[in-house]
Amino acid sequence: MVYLTLFICFLASLSLTPLVKQIAIKIGATDEPNNRKVHKVKMPRLGGLAIYLAFILGMLILRPESSYTLPIIIGSFIMVMTGILDDIFTLSARVKLVAQIISAIVIVVGGIQVEFINLPFNGVLYLHWFSIPLTILWIIGITNAINLIDGLDGLAAGVSTIVLLTIAGLAIAQGQIFVFMVSAILIGSTLGFLPYNFNPAKIFMGDTGAYFLGYIISILSLLGFKNVTLFSLVVPVVILAVPISDTLFAIIRRVVNRKPLSAPDKSHLHHCLLRFGFSHRETVLLIYGMSALFALAAIVLSLSTLWGSFLIITFVMFIIELVVELVGLVNVNYKPMLKFYKRLVGSSKAK
């Protein structure tokens, strides 16, 4: 029944997207080109509404039994309404943040939060009151991370699908049926939108889609790895390594360049890869590949021993740092690891 529902959600999203496109154009929910954006013509956004409606249809069909279902529905509705208003009227950053905090609080009140972490060697770290701000921060952070990578045709939808496939696979392996069912519904809904969103895109998902996908992914990653071991807690971070690292280095870049954290720029990962010489499609596919690599690392990490986890985490951090330095994600002069390697090779040749 789950796979049939996934297919129904796919068809629903595929059918609804053209209708949503017409509505977006009619009400003026369009994205105007500017010097920071890649597209050159006015594009309808609001495509995330089709994903959301297909998702709701899937939830009505499957009716996954859990105390978390209602909080997820309420919180996602608030997030989607925020995205719709932003896609039409362009809300201020403060208003959007308040809406995100309210949506996150709905989830916390609904009982979704990381209360403790099982440490190596049978230790337990109780988070107590810190679990609430940590959960809220995680939801807001992942929501905005997915929004930040939504800069090229099909990028956020494709990366989100890879993340959801990984979460669904790990969930079914661990017996997390609710997480698996919700992930499957969202996979079908997102895949149905992707044919209209992949380059050359006919419609953007807008903040409606990016906020909704980021919000649900943040919750599923919490539920799928709730109250787990220290290194298993890193699993959702590794799965989401592409959007998290892009967001983290965007913050670092703005601090280094003494710019406001909310200041937009053209130095995100996809911008850097485009400047590196890759085409639009090549850039998207390359980031898909990175996401798939990190997804594989997360799967191996979930099955690893303590020392194996150390090695995998070190490998992931090495790959991220290498990509950051090669493409100039902080700035063109930030290359500490590559400079160290050149000095090391130079000193070896001198001998």
Is residue 147 a known part of a binding site?
yes
Cβ atoms 189, 12 nearer than 8 A: yes
Q: Where are the beta strands (DSSP E) in 16-173?
A: 30-31, 43-44, 116-119, 123-126
Q: Measure the CA–CA gap between 200 and 281, rounded to whole angstroms.
A: 9
Distance CA 48, CA 186 (A): 12
| Alpha-carbon gap, residue 119 to 326, rounded angstroms | 35
State the helix-helix crossing angle for 306-327 and 336-350, rounded to 10 degrees.
90
Question: Binding residue per annotation — 87?
Answer: no
DSSP one-letter string for 94-140: HHHHHHHHHHHHHHHHTT----EEEETTTEEEE-GGGHHHHHHHHHH
Helices (H), 198-333: 206-224, 235-239, 241-256, 269-275, 280-303, 306-327
Instruction: Confirm if 125 and 117 have CB atoms less than 8 A apart.
Output: yes
CB 83 within 8 A of CB 209: yes
> In whole angstroms, what separates CA 338 from the centre of its chain?
28
Q: Are 145 and 210 in contact (CB under 8 A)?
A: no
Packed helices 177-197 and 155-173: angle between N→C axes, nearest 10 degrees? 160
Q: 65-92: buried (b, 16+ CB within 10 Å) or exposed (e) per residue?
A: ebebbebbebbbebbbebbbbbbbeebe
* CA dihedral of residues 265, 271, 275, 278 (deg, nearest 10): -170
CA–CA gap between residue 283 and residue 296 (Å, rounded): 20
DSSP secondary structure string, 197-229?
HSSSPS---HHHHHHHHHHHHHHHHHHHTTT-B
Cite the annotated binding site by residue number: 147, 207
Cite the annotated binding site for Mg(2+) by residue number: 147, 207
